[in-house]
Amino acid sequence: MPEPARAKPVPAPTPTTQPYWDGTAVGELRIQRCVTTGKVFSYPRRFFRPERPETAERTVA
Amino acid sequence: MKPAVIVITGAAETEQLGVIPDLTELDLRAEAAHPALAGAGLTMADVDGITCAAESPIEMAHYLGVTPTWYDGTSVGGCSFLIHVRHAAAAISAGLCQTVLVLHGESGRSRVGKAGSFMARSPSSSQMPFQNLYGLSGPPNMFTLPVMRFLAETGTTEEQLASVVAAQSAWSADNPRAFRKGEVTVEDVLSSPVIAYPFHKLECCVVTDGGGALVVTSRKRAEAAGTPKPPIYLLGAGEACDAPLVHDLEDGTSSKAFKISSRLAFEQADLGPGDIDHLIIYDAFAHLPLYALQDLGFVGRGEAGAFVAEGNTRPGGPLPLNTNGGGVRYTHTGMYGMFAMQESIRQLRGEAFNQVDGLEVGLVQGVGGMFTAASTLIFSNRLP
């Protein structure tokens, strides 16, 4: 007798990663772009601001 | 080698505090990190050391876009962040790194993206098979056994225990960032529901979401780079531990770890209790300030309850204590140590919500894993 298949592990979305996983559900890769440097980055993050002295803004696109 | 003079040049809490349903613990740390760095006149590119508890400092470093040459993930409960400052000071002194971000972010209330308790213990630990399995595994019942003996042996009354909360509520009464608003009396505290005797609900800390960050560096580097605000000097630091099991504590009426960590900090600073202008004692529950007042030598054994009840630690009193309202009024995300340090630094910078005038030297006494860990830091706004 083969053992019953175990449930496939799936990610548990957080408010930060939800838009990314929503994209995968409709076949889109949604990644973020830094508002100051224009660089794209992944995985999803909040408050990511590399190597720039501008400190007023706290957010990324 | 003479150790370097260590300074704090940046300090910030998250903009929101209390209920933050949309941020993970990594997000909370990052949110605090940027304003702390900005306040120090630095950017993420200057950071070469990272610390945090619970989640890995490597996760955090990558999130922030930093490749540190030194990191520390010591996770021994709420005083971990005080210990991180001590470890960072040693690392900077030894030349392992120059600018350390000490980070904390905890979704203690909303539990966004949390896997489980940071206090989970393995079957091979002493805590799990010899204590926790039988229900003795959280603050309400790990603290109750020692505090019952404390009350009995020192003659401290339940009213005096409740006066700790009343005094602290006087400091935080109008603070919009305090989770529990307003001022309460001893009668209010004693008429709140009993959670685990002798603790009433208002003698137990709040449970919140929030984070904070500190920038730690050497005085030499801070002076070379220039800082927007005068630095806060770390004059002394200590860390210590006690038994992991409540029934193995050497003395339930006193904290061995408080005594050792504070002795180390006082010796390094070459100061004593009489030199301390402002005091923060990590108050997960209301009894801890009573223990620390005695164990650190601010009062004699059995005198702490009357000392607080008589108003010595209230606004206008000679020894301002837990001036943000503490863990029982202001905030407590599960690990409170970061917020304890933030209030000490705000007071020494003259930026606190309820500012005390003329302060020069502040002491922060941290506790972790109930009575299992402790750390003491002594800060000053003047040159040592």
pLDDT score at A49: 57
Mutate to test the interface with B, among A14, A20, A21, A41 (most CBs of B within 10 A): A14
**Residue to substitute from B27, B59, B64, B111, interface A, most A β-carbons within 10 A:** B27
Q: How far apart are the CA of B33 and the nearest CA of chain A, in angstroms?
A: 9
The distance of B272 to chain A (nearest Cα, Å) reads 40
CB B97 within 8 A of CB B214: no
Average pLDDT over residues A4-11: 86
**A47 with B113: Cβ contact below 8 A:** no
d(CA B80, CA B145): 24
- Give me the helices (H) in B55-138, please: 57-64, 80-93, 127-130
What is the DSSP code string of B135-187? T--SHHHHHHHHHHHHHHHH---HHHHHHHHHHHHHHHTT-TT-SS-S---HH
Task: Name chain A contacts of B38, Cβ cutoff 8 Å.
Answer: 55
Are the beta carbons of B33 and B99 closer than 8 angstroms? no
Write the residue in B23, B38, B65 that is nearest to A55 by C-beta. Answer: B38
B364: CB partners within 8 A, 6+ apart = B82, B280, B282, B337, B340, B341, B344, B376, B377, B378, B379
* pLDDT one-digit tens code per residue, A13-54: 999 999 999 999 999 998 888 777 777 888 998 876 544 433
In single-letter form, the type of residue at position B331 comes to: T
Q: Where are the beta strands (DSSP E) in B297-347?
A: none
**What are the chain A neighbours of B113 within 8 Å (beta carbons)?**
12, 14, 16
Residues of A with CB under 8 A from a CB of B: 12, 14-16, 45-53, 55, 58
Q: Which residue of A has its CA nearest to B46?
A: A51
The pLDDT value recorded for residue A58 is 36
Q: Which two tokens stand for residue B238?
A: 């200590």
**Nearest CA distance, A2 vs chain B (angstrom):** 31
Flag if A48 and B63 touch (Cβ within 8 Å). Answer: yes
CA gap B122, A61 in Å, rounded: 41
- Fill in the amino acid letter for B138: G
| Amino acid sitting at position B191 | S
Residues in chain B closer than 8 A to A14 (CB atoms): 24, 112-113
Per-residue pLDDT tens digits of chain B, which is 384 residues long: 577 899 999 999 999 999 999 999 999 999 999 999 999 999 999 999 999 999 899 999 999 989 999 999 999 999 999 999 999 999 999 999 999 999 999 999 999 988 876 566 788 889 888 998 888 878 888 899 999 999 999 999 999 999 999 999 999 999 999 999 999 999 999 999 999 999 999 999 999 999 999 999 999 999 999 999 999 999 999 999 999 999 999 899 999 999 999 999 999 999 999 999 999 999 999 999 999 999 999 999 999 999 999 999 999 999 999 999 999 999 999 999 999 999 999 999 999 999 999 999 999 999 999 999 999 999 999 986
Q: Are A16 and B31 a contacting pair at CB < 8 A?
A: no
Chain A nearest C-alpha distance from B30 (Å): 6
Is B244 within 8 Å of B129 (Cβ atoms)?
Answer: no
Both structure tokens of B198: 């002798």
Helix (H) or strand (E) holding B100, with range, is strand B99-107
B111 to chain A: nearest residue by CA? A14
Nearest Cβ partner of A58 from B22, B31, B113? B31
Put simply, whether B60 touches A (Cβ < 8 Å) is: no
**Per-residue pLDDT band at A61 (split at 50, 70, 90):** very low
User: Do residue B43 and residue A52 have CB atoms under 8 angstroms apart?
Assistant: yes
Give B-chain residues touching A53 at CB under 8 angstroms: 43
